[in-house]
Amino acid sequence: MMGLNKKATTTAVLAVLLASSLVFPAPGQIHAASSEVSTTTAVIAGADKAKLYAPGSTHNASSYGEIADIVFNVMSNNYGDRVTIKFKGDTSGIDKKLQQVFKDVGSKDDYMRFVLKKMNWSWTSTASEATIEYGMTYWETPEQSEAVRQEARKALTDKTISGKQGKEHLQAIYEWVIGRLRYDSSLDDHSAYAGLFGANGTVCQGYALLLQRMLEEAGYENRMVYGSAKGDLHIWNLVKLNGTWLHLDTTLDDPGAGRSKLSYFLKSDAVLEKDHSWDRTAYPRSGAELKAAAMRSLKL
């Protein structure tokens, strides 16, 4: 094949570290596909969708947005672990575009993004087409993630949480997560399931995953935030309360961290930025900060 370009890229989510590296395959490495399925943008019924996006399936795509959708749908199908995509289109700058695909996949579902342990992709390409192979591994099995969801639902019926509203309701959820989990100082376990049912506890990733699931089940709009705290890579949460986005950091409010329980409960951007940093363009700004910005603009 004239103009064949062979490359491979590996991007991994390991603990709280989002890292990427380039790996070049041996000469002559070409990835084969087993079966081919043509995808469309039509809404597909549950059983048919599960079959269409089965692990190991092969799909056609003509845009990088389609690639992101396909990968996400395979991942959503009981944590699918591999997929092949036949891409037809401009492949110039494909390495950077596939890195953006990785980010786009992660932006579709926070729990999925942070339960993902590692994603690998490789490709062979010409100027107008590429065959792209994806492989994924996860911190939890589908059954374990469902166990986390069921535990969250059960917790929300506890007398210490149910019947409360607003800030009191959120505080009860927040303190339940802190009381149930303990920090894994070995840094070996990174999931909500490990924190709930494992012997060693979990790290900030697991704390934030469990709180995300609790907030979701309770009906709160929320996000998981990837950034740093006091110079270390870190994950925490955002929640929307009465129209205002506020930060929650259960890990750093765990008494084991040596701080009072509510030091990082429902904090604005201005408060949290004293020892946290994150990409402000990737997440909602706190309502308090938006109001302050609006007032400043009126004075200009």
Q: Given this model, what pLDDT does residue 260 score?
A: 73
- By residue count, the chain amounts to 300
pLDDT(285) > 90: yes
Average pLDDT on 250-266 reads: 88
Higher pLDDT, 279 or 15: 279
Whether the pTM exceeds 0.85: the reply is no
List the domain boundaries for the chain.
5-138, 142-299
**Amino acid at site 244:** T
Tell me whether residue 38 is exposed, middle or buried, using C-beta atoms within 10 angstroms of its C-beta: 0 to 12, 13 to 18, 19 or more: exposed
Q: Given this model, what pLDDT does residue 39 score?
A: 36
Average pLDDT on 82-100 reads: 97
Q: Given this model, what pLDDT does residue 171 score?
A: 97
Q: Given this model, what pLDDT does residue 13 score?
A: 43
Q: Which residues contact 53 (CB under 8 A, 6 or more apart)?
A: 70, 73, 74, 76, 77, 80, 83
Q: Given this model, what pLDDT does residue 33 score?
A: 26
DSSP letters for 225-292: EEEEETTEEEEEEEEEETTEEEEE-HHHHSGGGTS-TTTTEEE-HHHHTTTEEE-GGGSPPPHHHHHH
For the domain spanning 142-299, the CATH number is 3.10.620
Q: What is the pLDDT of residues 181-212, one digit of tens each?
A: 999 999 999 999 999 999 999 999 999 999 99
Q: Given this model, what pLDDT does residue 258 score?
A: 72
pLDDT(11) > 60: no
Q: Given this model, what pLDDT does residue 217 score?
A: 98
| DSSP β-bridge partners for residue 124 | 6, 131
Q: How confident is the model at residue 227 (pLDDT cuts 50, 70, 90)?
A: very high
Name the H helices within 6-93. Answer: 46-52, 64-76
Residue 107: both structure tokens together: 């932006």
Contact 174, 211 (CB under 8 A): yes
Q: What is the pLDDT of residues 100-153, one digit of tens each?
A: 999 999 999 999 999 999 999 999 999 999 999 999 999 999 999 999 999 999
DSSP letters for 68-118: HHHHHHHHHTTS--EEEEEEES--TTHHHHHHHHHHHHHHT-HHHHHHEEE
Pairing of strands 232-241, 129-138: unpaired
Q: How far apart are CA 183 and CA 152, in angstroms?
A: 19
User: Coil, helix or strand for 294?
Assistant: helix
Average pLDDT on 58-69 reads: 98
pLDDT(298) > 80: no
